[in-house]
Amino acid sequence: MRKLLLLMTVMIFCGVTAALAVPAGRTLEFSKSSMGTVKFSGKVHKDAGVKCKECHNADMFPKMKQGTVEIKMAEIYDGKLCGVCHNGQRAFEAKANCNRCHVKE
């Protein structure tokens, strides 16, 4: 019985995690910058072939929870966080494309 309960808990937990998963059609909004809101689309990144672990690892966004990492442009320009890819190689370069991320309402 206890084993069954544990299994059920694990299954429910996984189900919830999958439902919350960013690439499952979800978009996160980062609205602290005066440059305008950044809409981060899980779908766009999933469709571009980016795996969860490429972002959810110790060096980038360790927790699957919004607001745990403060994102500063200095780090992006320095090739960290979003800048690991948004450097003009894997994805469009941050410095030359402010408005592909920041959208004024």
Residue (9 or 90) nearer to ligand HEC, CB: 90
CA distance 47 to 7: 32
- Identity (one letter) of the amino acid at 37? T
Per CB under 6 A, contacts with ligand HEC among 21-40 are 21-23, 28, 30-35, 38, 40
Q: Contacts for 39-42 with beta carbons within 8 Å, 24 or more apart?
A: 39/103
Greatest CA separation found in the chain? 59
Output the six-digit token pair for 92.
């469009």
Please identify, using beta-carbon distances, which residue of 4 and 99 lies nearer to ligand HEC.
Answer: 99
For tokens 């309402």, the residue is 105
Q: Is 12 in the site for ligand HEC (CB under 6 A)?
A: no
Contact 29, 37 (CB under 8 A): yes
Residue 72 touching ligand HEC (CB under 6 A): yes
Taking the least distance from each CB to ligand HEC, the nearer of 8 and 28 is: 28
Question: Given candidates 10, 12, 14, 44, which one binds ligand HEC under the rule CB under 6 A?
Answer: 44
Q: Which amino acid is at 103?
A: V
**Interface positions with ligand HEC (CB under 6 A):** 20-23, 28, 30-35, 38, 40-41, 44-45, 48, 50, 52, 54-56, 61, 64-69, 71-74, 76, 81-82, 84-86, 90-92, 94-95, 97-98, 100-102
